[in-house]
Amino acid sequence: MPVQDERGACHLSRRSFLECSGAAALVAGGDLLTRVGRAYPQETDKTIRMAVVGGRFGATFHWHEHPRCVVTAVTDLYPERRERLKNQYRCDAVYDSLETMIREAKDVDAVAVFSGAPDHAKQVKMCLDRGWHVVCAVPACVSLEEAAMLKEHKEKTGLRYMMAESSWYHQECIFARNLHRAGGFGELFYTEGEYYHDHGDLQKALTDKSGLPYNPDGTRSWRWGYPPMLYPTHSLGFLVGVTGERVVKVSCLGWRGTRPEVREHPFVTDNAYGSPFWCQASIMSTNRGHMCRVNEFRRCTNYGDRAQWFGDEATFYTPLSGVHESVICVRGKSAEIVAVPQYWQSDLLPEPMRRPSGHRGSAMFISAEFVNALLEDREPEIDLYESLAMTVPGIVAQESALKDGQQLAVPSFDRAQL
Ligand SMILES: NC(=O)c1ccc[n+]([C@@H]2O[C@H](COP(=O)([O-])OP(=O)(O)OC[C@H]3O[C@@H](n4cnc5c(N)ncnc54)[C@H](O)[C@@H]3O)[C@@H](O)[C@H]2O)c1
């Protein structure tokens, strides 16, 4: 039987997982349960020189902790955020804007773009045109035209692109990916991905200028009324990041509220996107004939991103905002709590990076994977095609919600098959 700790958690070592699942097919893939990648190529003498754009979320990564990476340039439009970047990354080359940095910075190989979502595609193009590899915050883009433009520029320049999707490297998502690769789900036919980010007190959200809907200078930020389905990548990371499937059809509904203080709130009546929705729920079908449900809620009483995966041999549930444990149900067994391995403790990360980090351990994996990919001259695990597969279905879902749930086809931006 699985090893039980004092909380009754089931520790899935290779042997105990095999007993837990009873699935003989897992024998070949059992090691995948604990191994997901590699640390970094010790033999290289290359060092990656990184620039960073955006000093709020962009100041929370760990490029400079990779033994083969140094941050050589930072920029933000606001002085206090430039200062934060300078301190975080121990970098004295500070620029007033990305545009200035592109003109003046010389010693840069790659750039981390952590500006607001509507700026990503345009700024990524500027950086690719400058000859820099790019890691960019989510989402990859906000329109189908931008998706096509990104694909064209990435393929034209041959440079590397990675989207910094955190759910892909949640410890639970790594576990689900490994379980899927080992065949433990049987046929994984249904995935639910959810991202909840409440705006809080509705009046305070308008008056408190230190909140996220405002920029440091008091102007409205890109988050003001931003359509929830244009931020689908945390939820879809649980599908694309586990099975690699592509969403091919989408139907989506939106909720605006009925009480006047909700329905007539400026976030949904007066925003730059013409979007009337607080919350959106979408049902999607995939290129393998499977189902996926995505919830993107911005007015609700839950927080964070989570998933559940249903196969015909096993089901796996991630915790709800830290309230309960991860749970697995395997055919023929009762539901059990799973102590998901803390992959960040292992040699999957360079030794100095083996620490807990933001968004369920993902910040360290994102930082290491992008640098490793450049060192090894390969595409990052979350390349442009995976990134667009997590972004584009939400763009189409927004269109569907504006058409009261009409089912729409999702175009592919995958690499052309030769
Ligand atoms: N879990 C996650 O993956 C996660 C969490 C938070 C934010 N994000 C993403 O990260 C990105 C940044 O989020 P945020 O909350 O820090 O946004 P933000 O709007 O607070 O900060 C963006 C920063 O980019 C800077 N910027 C924009 N254009 C610039 C330019 N031309 N030159 C220099 N600086 C420029 C702005 O000055 C600003 O400080 C967003 O796209 C968001 O979607 C992802």
Q: What is the pLDDT of residues 130-142, one digit of tens each?
A: 999 999 999 999 9
Q: Do residues 338 and 206 share a domain?
A: yes
- Taking CA atoms, 135 is separated from 262, 275, 369, in Å, by 36, 28, 10
Domain identity same for 136 and 180:
no
φ/ψ region of 290 (left if φ > 0, alpha if ψ in -120 to 50, else beta) reads beta
pLDDT (tens, 9 = 90+) of the chain, 418 residues, equals 334 444 434 444 444 444 444 333 332 334 444 444 566 776 788 999 999 999 999 999 999 999 999 999 999 999 999 999 999 999 999 999 999 999 999 999 999 999 999 999 999 999 999 999 999 999 999 999 999 999 999 999 999 999 999 999 999 999 999 999 999 999 999 999 999 999 999 999 999 999 999 999 999 999 999 999 999 999 999 999 999 999 999 999 999 999 999 999 999 999 999 999 999 999 999 999 999 999 999 999 878 899 999 999 999 999 887 677 898 999 888 899 998 988 888 888 888 999 888 888 889 999 999 999 999 999 999 999 999 999 999 999 999 999 999 999 999 999 987 5
In this predicted structure, what is the pLDDT of residue 249?
98
Q: Is residue 214 one of the residues assigned to a domain?
A: yes
**82 is a domain residue:** yes
CA torsion 76-77-79-82 (nearest 10°) is 0
Does 329 map to a domain?
yes
Mutate to test the pocket of ligand 1, among 53, 56, 233 (most ligand atoms within 8 A of CB): 56
The radius of gyration computed from the CA coordinates of the chain, to the nearest angstrom, equals 21
**Do 124 and 221 belong to one domain?**
no
Nearest atom (ligand 1) to Cα of 164: 3
The alpha helices in 116-162, defined as continuous H runs, are 120-129, 144-157
Could you tell me the distance, in angstroms and rounded to a whole number, from the CA of residue 53 to the centre of ligand 1? 8
| Token output for 256 | 């605006």
Residue 298 counted as domain residue: yes
pLDDT value of residue 39? 66
Ligand 1: which residue has its CA nearest to atom 38?
A: 54
Same domain, 116 and 261: no
Q: Output the pLDDT for position 124.
A: 98
Residues 204 and 226 in one domain: yes
Q: What per-residue confidence (pLDDT) applies to 358?
A: 82
Q: Does residue 13 fall inside a structural domain?
A: no
CA of 58 to the centre of ligand 1 (A): 6
Q: Is residue 15 part of a domain?
A: no
Helix (H), strand (E) at residue 308: strand 303-311
- Boundary residue ending a domain (163, 191, 210): 163
CA distance linking residue 326 with residue 319, whole number of Å? 5
Tokens for 132, please give them.
């820099």
- Burial class, 41, CB count within 10 angstroms (exposed 0-12 / middle 13-18 / buried 19+): exposed
DSSP string, 67-127: TTEEEEEEE-SSHHHHHHHHHHHT---EES-HHHHHHH--S-SEEEE-S-GGGHHHHHHHH
Nearest CA to ligand 1 atom 7: 57
CATH number of the domain to which 176 belongs: 3.30.360.10
Looking at 145, 163, 181, the residue that finishes a domain is 163
Same domain, 132 and 190: no
Please name the residue that has the structure tokens 């996220």: 212
User: For the sheet containing 188-197, what is the strand order?
Assistant: 3-4, 10-11, 336-338, 326-330, 314-317, 303-311, 188-197, 291-297, 279-286, 247-255, 408-409
Q: Are residues 255 and 156 in the same domain?
A: no
Residue 9's pLDDT is: 40
Are the C-beta atoms of 198 and 267 separated by less than 8 Å? Answer: no
For 343, counting Cβ atoms within 10 Å of its Cβ (0-12 exposed, 13-18 middle, 19+ buried), the class is buried
Q: How far is the CA of 291 from the centre of ligand 1 (A)?
A: 32
Do 235 and 329 lie in one domain? The reply is yes
| H or E segment and range at residue 297 | strand 291-297
Residues near ligand 1 with C-beta < 6 Å? 53-58, 75-78, 81, 97-99, 114-117, 119, 137-138, 166, 221-222, 359
Q: Which position has the token pair 């606001």?
A: 78
Q: Whose CA is nearest to atom 15 of ligand 1?
A: 57
How far from the centroid of its chain's Cα atoms is residue 173's Cα? 11
Residue 312, classed as helix, strand or coil, is: coil
Residue 38 lies inside a defined structural domain of this protein = no
Query: What separation in Å is there between the alpha carbon of 335 and the centre of ligand 1?
Result: 41
Tell which atom from ligand 1 comes closest to the C-alpha of 216: 39
Based on the fold, state whether residues 297 and 209 are members of the same structural domain.
yes
Atom 26 (ligand 1) nearest CA: 115
Last residue of one domain, picked from the residues 146, 163, 180:
163
Q: Residue 58 CA: which ligand 1 atom is closest? A: 16
Judge contact between 326 and 340, C-beta under 8 A: yes
Distance of CA 261 to the CA centre of its chain: 32
| DSSP codes of every residue in 222-252 | TTTT--GGG--HHHHHHHHHHH---EEEEEE
We report the CATH number of the domain holding residue 66 as 3.40.50.720
| Beta-strand relationship, 326-330 and 314-317 | antiparallel
Instruction: State how far the Cα of 283 lies from the Cα of 295, in Å rounded to an integer.
Output: 9
* pLDDT value at residue 307: 97
One domain, residues 290 and 201: yes
In a domain, 32, yes or no: no
- Domain span at 225: 167-345+382-409
Let me know whether 190 and 316 are in one domain.
yes
ω into 139 cis (within 30 of 0): yes
pLDDT attached to residue 8: 38
The phi and psi torsions of 366 (rounded to 5 degrees) equal -60, -45
Domain match, 159 and 193 both: no
Bridge partner list, 11: 3
Q: For the chain, how many structural domains are there in total? A: 2
- How far apart, in whole angstroms, are the C-alpha atoms of residue 326 and residue 98? 42
